[in-house]
Amino acid sequence: MNPARRIAIAMSGGVDSSVAAALLHETGEDVFGLMLRLSDGASGHANRCCAPEAIAAARAVAGQLGFPFYVVDAREAFEASVILPFICGYVQGITPNPCIECNRAIRWGTLLAHALAIGATHLATGHYARIDSANGTFRLRAGVDRRKDQSYVLHVLSQEQLAHAVFPLGELTKDQVRGHARRLHLPVADRPESQDLCFAQGNYQSFLVARGISAAPGPILDQEGNPLGQHSGLTGYTLGQRKGLRIAGSEALYVLEKDAGRNTLTVGPRGAVGRQQFAVDRVNWIAGAPPSIPFEADVQVRYHAPRIRGHIRCTGDQSAQVILECRQPDVAPGQSAVFYIDDACLGGGIIQP
């Protein structure tokens, strides 16, 4: 127990945040729960993370453990910082990552500011990641459970934010977390987890339609620009996709490019999928400043994708050029490329077209 600390724990009603809260409370930390209200079910989306049953589950855990629990209204901020950029990204033909923007603007922006304003010294979450410090600089490190590691979505954190961050699950595996939940008889011990977007309920195309984004059909082209068929709307396709193209041919075809301006979908053989070189923008360097010289690091280009060795050259304070050791199919504009040396996350930025 550290008597100088008062820890706000971000709760979602799931097992991870509930166990994080319980472990802190069990060690005698002064904790209280905060839960984000991100939607009221109107405006075309109902958010799983703040559904009535999720709020009730989080409140039940706080009540069982005996610490205060509050709900923070972040609906306007979530709409402006996460929902609208997500919609605009798909309209522009890119593949945005709203979970990263939520961590950047909402969890470690709006929620952290609220927690500090009401007396917290730290904000804890149920992320599978670790923090340490060396020579006065905080480092973000991957969680011990590599299957659940979430340092990728946390690469947007700054030194100031890491100074206030606590990740109680970083040294644990998911099985161990479930074990703690059962040991502590938490009501969420066996609650299933979902990997879907919290606000799209597993169907982002229906979400986009509900928000007024129509799926206009258009031509499917080969690499030479010859028409091969019709697509049903660019928002329904992702780079590297094979299934659902409904094109007969002598070889399998994959989505290579989406051109929102012309409303065209370009397809080609598997050998043409992906990229080896690309630029990244809005780069956040966790150490606070970009490296002064080019360097090599492991690069992760999508959540849970394997890390590939790459050469990184900074072209500005928030921009860089990346050359991977080989072509990777998961490189998609709008997603983030995140850089690692061993298990330390250096930062990352958004892949450009």
- Our CA angle for 145, 20, 83, nearest 5°, is 85
Q: Give the C-alpha separation, 94 to 89, whole Å.
A: 5
Cβ pair 192, 35 in contact under 8 A? no
Give the active site residues: 102, 198
**Given the structure tokens 């991977």, which residue do they identify?**
324
Q: Which two tokens stand for residue 136?
A: 């006065």
Q: 237 — phi, psi (to 5°)? A: -130, 150
233: alpha, beta or left? (left if phi > 0; alpha if psi -120 to 50): left
Q: Which two tokens stand for residue 115?
A: 């927690």
Query: In terms of Cα–Cα distance, which of 2, 281, 287 is closest to 137?
Result: 287
Q: Give the C-alpha separation, 106 to 110, whole Å.
A: 5
Give Cα separations from 326 to 48, 146, 277, 310 (angstroms). Answer: 38, 23, 9, 9
Q: Which two tokens stand for residue 75?
A: 């609906």
